[in-house]
Amino acid sequence: MNQRQICYLDNNATTQVAPEVVSAMLPFFEEFWGNASSAYTFGKQLAAHIEQAREKVAALIHADPKEILFTSCGTESNNAAIHSALVTQPGKRHVITTSVEHSANIKYGKFLEKQACEVTFLPVESDGSIDLHLLDISIRPDTAIVSVMWANNETGVFFPIEEVAAICRSKDVLFHTDAVQTPGKIKIDVKSTGVDFLSLSGHKLHAPKGIGLLYVKRHTKFAPYIIGGGQERGRRGGTENVPYIVGFGRAAELAIASINDENTRVRALRDRLETTILRTIPNTMRTGAKEPRLPNTSNIAFDGVEAEAILMMLDQAGICASSGSACTTGSLDPSHVLLAMGITPSRARSCVRFSLGIYNTEKDIDYLLEHLPGMISKLRAMSPSDGESAKAETVSNAISA
Ligand code: PLP
């Protein structure tokens, strides 16, 4: 199945690499493929391209280019921020994060618990929001860092990052935010927000997979996570991935330019998708707060049906959506995000995330809305009459029927 045949509604999992990004990267595969740390011109001329890209990604979040550290992905950036806070403050072994973070934080937190650290996973309310008072009183003298995501990848719900940053500042505790889902959707200004660390990932903003960044506020102590050569001013070892860094820079320029489109046209597409599903398909509900939320994301429960079954049927029709983070696909457990919001396991197993992007059009939404109601009716007709969810294993029959 090629790209022309798919209706791609899974932009929180990854995004299509923009043609402009591909064009910007190609010369760095074909012609300028040297090592940026070399002493001769063929290699060292690349350093200027890395610095130009650094300026572009810094502009996306209103940072100083010197505050940007290129990494391999959002996961590395999150791990690196928390690791650094623990290493630079050896007496502090307590970390605070939330129970709805991406597995990049949840699993790293579980790992730290086995390394003699204590990790507080803050609970959330039923709409996905956090209790700031609880955050405030959870901070202890031995808290090394607070890490709270900016926008949730499954529900799109925003956390009040400025307020979280203010609480951390008042208690003199480092603050990291995973802002991986935000570029191109909201304006980020690290200076006015007051964060110490911030993570981004290229493949969520139309750059390739395998490139990310960590913003480290000026004068913040930093201990490298990847130890090796002196690249990135000694803060991350490893030969610089010049084509991807250049591509990330170009994607950052495009993200700045697409904020308006995401918040008007894409938001209207998402709203049409959501309101039509909720109005026309019985026993459906949106999970998480309606606002403030990413303009592209809608997470909907289809009571009485397994999301895996819906996704299989959508896939047969060439529609890509998901039941949560791509990083937890294959797990039979319901989403930890939805469970943390107090959603029952059976309802959580019925939730599908639709996440749109700048390449979606009205036709994609027409196509989804044409097919989805019939699929849900078919699956519900097969499901046990006591309202239990249809079992995924019975779905293959429905698909071939
Ligand atoms: N944080 C969030 C909120 C994400 O959505 C993702 C990816 O889905 C990540 C972190 C991990 O990013 P990467 O895939 O670049 O490691």
Atom 13 in ligand 1: residue holding the nearest Cα: 74
Helix (H, G, I), strand (E, B) or coil at 151: strand
Atom of ligand 1 nearest to the CA of 72: 15
* Residue 20: partners with Cβ closer than 8 Å, 6 or more residues away: 250, 254
* pLDDT bucket at 401, cuts 50 / 70 / 90: very low
Q: Is a pLDDT exceeding 50 seen at residue 393?
A: no
**Cis, peptide link before residue 292, omega less than 30° from 0:** yes
Question: What is the share, in percent, of the chain residues with pLDDT greater than 70?
Answer: 93
Whole-number pLDDT of residue 327:
56
From 97, 105, 180, the mutation candidate for ligand 1 (largest count of ligand atoms within 8 A of CB) is 180
Q: Is a pLDDT exceeding 80 seen at residue 237?
A: yes
Ligand 1 centroid to Cα of residue 130, in Å, is 20
Q: Which long-range contacts (CB under 8 A, 24 or more apart) does 398-401 make?
A: 398/309, 398/313, 399/312, 399/313, 399/316
* Residue 346: partners with Cβ closer than 8 Å, 6 or more residues away: 388, 389
Atom of ligand 1 nearest to the CA of 149: 3
Nearest of 22, 153, 100, 97 to residue 339 by alpha carbon: 100
| 127 vs 107: CA distance, rounded Å | 23
Q: Is a pLDDT exceeding 50 seen at residue 391?
A: no
Ligand 1 centroid to Cα of residue 44, in Å, is 31
> Between helices 362-382 and 307-316, what is the axis angle to 10°?
130
Given a contact cutoff of 8 angstroms between Cβ atoms, the answer to whether 68 and 215 are in contact is yes
Ligand 1 centroid to Cα of residue 381, in Å, is 36
For residues 105-129, give the mean pLDDT. Answer: 97
Atom 8 in ligand 1: residue holding the nearest Cα: 13
Atom of ligand 1 nearest to the CA of 212: 15
Q: Which helix (H) or strand (E) holds 351?
A: strand 351-355
Ligand 1 centroid to Cα of residue 73, in Å, is 8
Atom 10 in ligand 1: residue holding the nearest Cα: 74
Whole-number pLDDT of residue 333:
85
Residue for token digits 């819906």?
310
Q: Is a pLDDT exceeding 70 seen at residue 322?
A: yes
Ligand 1 centroid to Cα of residue 388, in Å, is 32
Atom of ligand 1 nearest to the CA of 13: 8
Catalytic, out of 7, 117, 168, 327: 327
For residues 297-321, give the mean pLDDT. Answer: 97
Mean pLDDT computed over every residue of the chain: 93
Whole-number pLDDT of residue 330:
59
Q: Is a pLDDT exceeding 60 seen at residue 390?
A: no
Cα separations (Å) of 73 from 27, 145, 169, 176, 241? 22, 20, 27, 16, 12
| 284 vs 307: CA distance, rounded Å | 12
Given a contact cutoff of 8 angstroms between Cβ atoms, the answer to whether 101 and 147 are in contact is yes
Ranges 171-185, 212-226, 326-340, 349-363: which has the least confidence: 326-340
Ligand 1 centroid to Cα of residue 383, in Å, is 34
Given a contact cutoff of 8 angstroms between Cβ atoms, the answer to whether 347 and 126 are in contact is no
Residues with CB under 6 Å of ligand 1 are 73-75, 102, 104, 149, 153, 178, 180-181, 201, 203, 212, 325, 327
For residues 146-165, give the mean pLDDT. Answer: 98
Tally the C-alpha atoms within 13 A of residue 244's C-alpha that lie toward its C-beta: 16
* Number of helices and strands in the chain (H, E): 17, 12
CA–centroid distance for 96 within its chain: 19
CB atoms under 10 Å from CB of 110, counted, come to 12
Whole-number pLDDT of residue 2:
58
Nearest of 131, 73, 126 to residue 102 by alpha carbon: 73
* Active-site residue flag, 327: yes
For residues 278-284, give the mean pLDDT. Answer: 98
From 75, 108, 336, 353, the mutation candidate for ligand 1 (largest count of ligand atoms within 8 A of CB) is 75
Q: Is a pLDDT exceeding 80 seen at residue 394?
A: no
Atom 9 in ligand 1: residue holding the nearest Cα: 74
Ligand 1 centroid to Cα of residue 233, in Å, is 25
CA–centroid distance for 370 within its chain: 29
Query: Is the C-alpha dihedral spanning 309, 312, 317, 323 positive or negative?
Result: positive
Q: What is the pLDDT of residues 182-213, one digit of tens each?
A: 999 999 999 999 999 999 999 999 999 999 99
Atom 5 in ligand 1: residue holding the nearest Cα: 153
Given a contact cutoff of 8 angstroms between Cβ atoms, the answer to whether 133 and 84 are in contact is no
From 153, 154, 297, the mutation candidate for ligand 1 (largest count of ligand atoms within 8 A of CB) is 153
For residues 144-165, give the mean pLDDT. Answer: 98
Q: What is the pLDDT of residues 12-31, one digit of tens each?
A: 999 999 999 999 999 999 99
Q: What is the pTM of this model?
A: 0.94
Q: Where is pLDDT greater, at 107 or 332?
A: 107
Atom of ligand 1 nearest to the CA of 73: 15
Atom 7 in ligand 1: residue holding the nearest Cα: 13
State the amino acid at position 305 in one-letter form. V
Residue for token digits 């696909």?
329
Q: Is a pLDDT exceeding 50 seen at residue 291?
A: yes
Q: What is the pLDDT of residues 61-89, one digit of tens each?
A: 999 999 999 999 999 999 999 999 999 99
Helix (H, G, I), strand (E, B) or coil at 353: strand
For residues 338-366, give the mean pLDDT. Answer: 97
